[in-house]
Amino acid sequence: MTRQVPLFINGEFVQSASNDKRDVLNPATQAVLAEVPFATPDEVDVAVASAKDAFQTWRDVPVAERARLMMRYQALLKAYHDELGEILAHDTGKTFEDAKGDVWRGIEVVEQAANIPSNMMGETVENVANGIDTYTYIQPLGVCVGITPFNFPAMIPLWMFPLAIAAGNTFVLKPSEQVPLTPVRLVELFIEAGAPKGVLNMVHGGPDQVNQLLEHPDVRAASFVGSSHVGEHIYRTGTAAGKRVQCMMGAKNHMVIMPDADPNAVLNALVGSSVGAGGQRCMGISVAMFVGDSSQLIDALAERLATAQPGVWDDASASYGPLISPQARERVLGLISKGTEEGATCLLDGSDCTVDGYPDGNWVGPTLFKDVTPEMSIYKEEIFGPVLCCMQVETLEEAIAQINSLEVGNGVSLFTASGGAARKFQHEILVGQVGINIPIPVPLPFFSFTGWRGSFRGDLHAYGKQAVRFYTETKTITAKWSFQEPAATGGGQPNMS
């Protein structure tokens, strides 16, 4: 009997009544891990109603109590770190270390959520006019929803619900239908940590369920992480329905390499950041942009990349796992063929990659192109596979202009020994997260995840102080109180006799 992925509604795991189900597949074997139901409209409604109901009491739970729930949750996530990593590795195909890293980055956000009291502090000014004071309170919105992608099934749900709930909201999570098993375990541990019923709910599904949540009159805000075309739809649909929406979307991240950069550091950084997680990271590097002559470094890069081979989750020698689905693999292989057809030079082609004992895995080997130009499909599209494109420009100015001409602006990196070059780059680049001699500059959760331009829609970004603002309203109170001494009741000292 195939495992059925439950919904989580009103404090209970329940089996969906839906007949619309998809297989959850192990990407290394195609073994069916479970069936995930696409929730019925009634089930989505009940999940929102439960969150709405729970909000009436949860908003009044003292902020220190809400913080303590996050402390207990953090301790449980750490206690079950290995188990979560293993579930996640089966769901996604990630190597065990990478899967544990996914969980760890989520734990760090829960730690940040435990700091909620200081992040909920308002402002005060005494005596804005004679005897009048103004002060602000930060109050939760109500029911918030989160729609998450396949590539970080622990970290990205944990970017959302812990901060929203710590701020006093209630939440409905709609995780990726491709990897619903890690989120189920995240929810179980949240309940074990003591979350009251209705505070967190989870429904599964695709476009219909997401649209219903976005248009639901009782939903106040939606957080989305995923591809750009879906994010644009979610931003339009959600804002048209009057919701507050933040969408973290697709990317095309460049690493710019100056001639004075440390070659060894460049090679190490390029290998890990381009093929790590099979290139399925929104902050992975997919373009190496060399300033000046790059021929020697590219040859050395091809040699190093060839040693980074995919494998199954518990193979300690594997550099990364399979792609998420056969469709994702077909798409990446199609782009690799187009790269050659459109005139790029393929130095390493991972299209025919196999892994012993796993003939059905969605394997793609490390792939390296040089002579890539801006008109080519491999440059214009987000490949989301272990494919690195090398380009050459003559000056830093040219590199900055090229990157700034793209629609997306999630992450970028510069390798150099020159403080002047770094200063110019960080000042002029129109990308929201910049690494200087760091390949993947994902900010820790006391900052926010600040993708720019086409990589983001909304005003306030994911996690950190910005997310607390996203999940709250500011209420400004202006108060006037006059004081008069109470009238004397007469009689001096009480009579003690």
Binding site residues, ligand NAD, CB under 6 A: 147-152, 174, 176-177, 206-207, 210, 225-227, 230, 233-234, 248-251, 282, 382, 384, 410, 449, 451, 455
Smaller CB separation from ligand NAD, 216 or 370: 216
**How near is the Cβ of 211 to ligand NAD at its closest, in Å?**
6
Rounded CA gap, 463 and 456, in Å?
14
Ramachandran angles phi, psi of 289, nearest 5°: -110, 105
Tokens standing for residue 52: 């709405």
Q: State which residue has the least CB distance to ligand NAD.
A: 226
Closer by beta carbon to ligand NAD, 50 or else 455:
455
Question: The tokens of 295 are what?
Answer: 């021929």
Which of these is catalytic: 282, 346, 353, 390?
282
The DSSP bridge partners found for residue 12 are 9
Residue whose tokens read 């680049």: 429
- The C-alpha atoms of residue 465 and residue 427 are separated, in whole angstroms, by 23
> Please, what is the end-to-end C-alpha distance for the chain in angstroms?
87
- Identify which of residues 226 and 339 has a Cβ nearer to ligand NAD in the complex: 226
Give me the least distance between CB of 486 and ligand NAD, in Å please: 60
Cβ 374 to ligand NAD shortest distance, Å: 19
Report phi then psi at 260, rounded to 5.
Answer: -90, 5
- What are the b/e assignments for 191-202, b being 16+ CB within 10 Å? bebebeebbbbb
Residue that has been written with the tokens 């375990």 in this structure: 185
Nearer to ligand NAD, 170 or 176 (CB): 176
Nearest to 94, CA basis, from 253, 269, 268, 314: 314
DSSP assigned state of 276: G
Contact assessment for residue 183 and residue 34, using Cβ atoms and an 8 Å cutoff:
no
Q: Closer to ligand NAD at the Cβ: 91 or 382? A: 382
Q: Rounded to whole angstroms, what are the CA distances from 168 to 143, 152, 175, 189?
A: 10, 25, 21, 19
Distance of alpha carbon 336 from alpha carbon 124, whole angstroms: 58
In whole angstroms, how close is the CB of 34 to ligand NAD at the nearest point?
Answer: 16
In whole angstroms, the minimum distance from the beta carbon of 175 to ligand NAD comes to 6
Which C-beta is closer to ligand NAD: that of 140 or that of 153? 153
Q: For residue 426, list its beta bridge partners.
A: none
Amino acid identity, position 30? Q
In the chain, the amino acid numbered 14 is V
Beta bridge partner(s), residue 434:
412
Min dist. Cβ of residue 29 to ligand NAD (A) = 20
Note if 282 is an active site residue: yes
Residue whose CB is less far from ligand NAD, 55 or 449: 449
Please identify, using beta-carbon distances, which residue of 138 and 468 lies nearer to ligand NAD: 468
Q: Find out whether 33 and 25 touch, Cβ atoms under 8 Å.
A: yes
Nearest C-alpha neighbor of 8 from the set 208, 209, 221, 191: 191
Spatial separation of the C-alpha atoms in residues 285 and 127, rounded to whole Å: 53
Nearest-approach distance from CB 111 to ligand NAD, in angstroms:
19
Residue 284: CB minimum distance to ligand NAD, A? 9
Classify the C-alpha dihedral 294-295-296-297 as positive or negative: positive
Active site residues: 282
